[in-house]
Amino acid sequence: MMTDTIADMLTRIRNAQMAGLGGLELPYSKTKLALAEILKTEGYLSNVTRIEAKPQDKISIDLMYHGKRPAIQHIKRESTPGHRMYRGAGELPKVLNGYGIAIVSTSQGMMTNVEAQKRGIGGEIICSVY
């Protein structure tokens, strides 16, 4: 039984990029789809689609590369089930001095740290990416 599905998703993305794969599939959940959509919007993934299948739907992710270098240089899970990290709007981290993003789960859905600061809301810091 897996307790941290988001850490599993991030590890699958990291491993697929290290292997030079074009894409990967993982089990569907609303949280993972929202996280992948943010990574796509921010330019770290080229495509994200939901595949309906039995017994469980899947998420297909196409990875992005710049030449032979992966678009995601670093992806790290910040808040874990054993150690949750909640921050207010003024305490949200800057990743790589603003060049990277932190994905935050707020009461208004998942968003980047920059968007959460603009809206003036805090939340749980899911991961950091650059």
Place of tokens 């001095």: 97
Residues of the chain with CATH 3.30.1370.30: 5-70
Check residue 103 and give its pLDDT: 98
Topology classification of domain 75-129: Dna Ligase; domain 1 (3.30.1490)
> What local confidence, expressed as pLDDT, does residue 1 receive?
67
CB 43 within 8 A of CB 57: no
Give me the pLDDT at residue 2, please: 77
Q: CA-to-CA distance for 25 and 23, rounded, in angstroms? A: 7
70: amino acid identity, one letter:
P
The tokens 């996280």 sit on which residue? 35
Q: Classify domain 5-70 at the CATH class level.
A: alpha beta
Comma-separated ranges of CATH 3.30.1490.10 domains in the chain: 75-129
Angle between helices 5-18 and 30-41 (to 10 degrees): 40
For the chain (130 residues), the mean pLDDT of every run of 10, in chain order, is 91 96 96 98 97 96 96 96 96 95 97 97 97
